[in-house]
Amino acid sequence: MKKSLLFLFMMISSVALAQNPKSQKVKYTTIKQKVCPNQKGFQLVLKAIVSDSRCPEGVTCIWAGEVSAVVSVHKDSKLIEDTTLVFSMKNEEDNKKWFATYLSEKQKKIKSIRVLPYPKEGSKINPEEYYLKIGYLK
């Protein structure tokens, strides 16, 4: 009985005292389809969605799909480059590196990049509704 109580006490204390990893604070920035005039430094603009083959919600697909988008880079309101990026699981790290070169210093630890809105079965997305949502560690 004593051994059972000791074992139970050890189990409860190990669970209660187990260290939780610090939760990481993720902040978000969005990249929309319009240029803000007279902005200093780099500015990213979603110029166009070339293709969106993501599997819509409510549908079973063989593969998750991908989004191809043209992103414009402006510096001090002047166009520097247009780049076509493919957003899929296999390109995720390359896309994070590309965005990190143009984002501010506090936004360079990119956690996620999402193209929104996500397609739904039976509805079509208006091209002007698309935007990019970038999550970065605070």
pLDDT given at position 77: 82
Predicted TM-score (pTM) of this structure: 0.78
Contact 98, 77 (CB under 8 A): no
Tally of structural domains, the chain? 1
Element (H, E) at 135: strand 131-137
Residue 39 has pLDDT above 90, yes or no: no
Answer yes or no: is 50 within a domain: yes
Host domain of residue 79: 26-137
Answer yes or no: is 2 within a domain: no
Answer yes or no: is 67 within a domain: yes
CA-based R_g, the chain, Å = 22
Answer yes or no: is 11 within a domain: no
Answer yes or no: is 65 within a domain: yes
Answer yes or no: is 32 within a domain: yes
Name the strands in the sheet holding 42-52, side by side, starting at the edge strand that comes first in the sequence.
Answer: 42-52, 67-75, 78-87
Residue 6 has pLDDT above 80, yes or no: no
Contact 132, 124 (CB under 8 A): no
Answer yes or no: is 118 within a domain: yes
Which is higher by pLDDT, 4 or 35? 35
What average pLDDT does range 75-83 have in this prediction? 90
pLDDT given at position 76: 86
What average pLDDT does range 3-13 have in this prediction? 56
Q: Report how far apart, in Å, the C-alpha atoms of 87 and of each of 2, 25, 76, 90, 132 are.
A: 59, 24, 27, 8, 10
What average pLDDT does range 34-49 have in this prediction? 85
What is the secondary structure of 35-56 as a DSSP string? PPTT--SEEEEEEEEEEE-PPP
Answer yes or no: is 4 within a domain: no
